[in-house]
Amino acid sequence: MDERNINMPLLGDPFPEMKVQTTHGPKNLPEDYHGRWFVLFSHPADFTPVCTTEFVAFQKRFDQFRELDCDLIGMSVDQVFSHIKWVQWIKENLDVDIEFPIVAANDTIALKLGMLHPGKGTNTVRAVFIIDPEGIVRLVLYYPQEIGRNMDEVVRAVKALQISDRQGAVPAGWPNNELIGDRIIVPPATDIKTAEERSEKYECFDWWFCHKPLE
């Protein structure tokens, strides 16, 4: 495969428009989710051990995503019949009911998202796209086939993006940062007057590093 033909949306780009077939019927992305956040995550193949653990882990956090007004969408290049049978297998054998749709992608869709793993045939990488209510790509995570994802980090990322949109930047490891806990970082001052006022309004290590309580 010529890697130069692989494209992927970058942060701040509109999510590519596409019509897809899912286990919940046909959908138009991102149009059908306008006004809501959604997480689209791809997996290499149905009926594989790591992917099965990931789907169970995402489903276990389904209510957490719903509380954030965020939908989950799975995706691989398996056919929808395989997706349906796999979901049934998970229910019958692991007693977990997968409530989110799974997209049956084709190579064209996978290439639009840079999901096909170079040198691995038609298997898709473990990609995560977090899309905001305006259909804009806000975060992208890529994992190799050999490493399962941390779903708590995906939940944290959605929550942090929503908070940063309203209040300011979040620190490393938020909400358990070693320096400021769950507090929010105030945007740096861009002029001398504002810099001098910072320490009067906020708690600061210096004028360029001020923080405030989470609202």
Query: Which of the residues are catalytic?
Result: 51
- Order the strands of the 209-212 sheet from edge to edge: 184-185, 209-212, 203-206
Q: Residue 34, SS3?
A: coil
Query: Which amino acid is residue 70, in one-letter code?
Result: C
- Using DSSP, state whether 87 is helix, strand or coil: helix
Helix (H) or strand (E) holding 152: helix 151-166
Residue type, 20: V
Task: Name the residue with tokens 């309580």.
Answer: 213
Contact 50, 148 (CB under 8 A): yes
Contact 44, 51 (CB under 8 A): yes
The Cα–Cα gap between 196 and 145 comes to 50
CA–CA gap between residue 32 and residue 35 (Å, rounded): 9
Q: ∠ at Cα 88 (85, 92), nearest 5°?
A: 140
Upstream peptide bond of 175 is cis (omega within 30 degrees of 0): yes
